[in-house]
Amino acid sequence: MNIMIPAWVDGTLQPIEKLEAHKLGLKHKAISVFVFHENKILLQRRALSKYHTPGLWANTCCTHPYWNETDEDCASRRLFEELQLTNLHLENRGKIEYRADVGQGLIEHEIVEIFTSTCSKLPKVTPNPEEVMEIRWLDQIELATKVKTNPDEFTPWLRIYMLKHFEQISGTVTA
């Protein structure tokens, strides 16, 4: 299936096939979600079948909205599709733009709408094995340290978020 995502072509937002946007390095829309419980963040390890960054650790979920899909609807949809998470209160934490080489000649150049959700009780998480091979709840400071000491275990975007934008995302200053 060709998934059409919003990307900027000649300064205009247009529907573009997702893989083509990555091949051309076009700036495109994306969402990222961070689910917190106490001082921990829910991380996912990307399935080995993913066409880029397989087997690397990422934030709770991230994806591209479909053409004409709202960012919040997209975030809720992917939380369910990837982790079977529903009924989370999503808080919009603003936009982040980044550009990163994700291997195999592909570029993520994203304008990312960041969402967070803080759960008072540990939610039941059921990973979709086509998307997620493993999950882990990790302390925020421990995650920041791991990203600095073992960056190759993490997706480029999670490294960027942790090293440059984590205070915006969590309200917590990292070491």
**Distance, CA of 152 to CA of 95 (rounded, Å):** 25
* 3-state class (DSSP) for residue 77: helix
**What's at 103, amino acid-wise?**
G
Q: Nearest-CA neighbor of 79 among 125, 36, 39, 121?
A: 125
Choice among 61, 62, 108, 113 that is catalytic: 62
Q: For residue 119, indicate whether it is catalytic.
A: no
- In contact, 95 and 112? CB cutoff 8 Å: yes
Choice among 82, 108, 110, 113 that is catalytic: 110
Find the helix or strand (DSSP H, E) in which 149 lies: helix 140-149
Q: For residue 62, indicate whether it is catalytic.
A: yes
List, by residue number, the catalytic residues: 62, 110
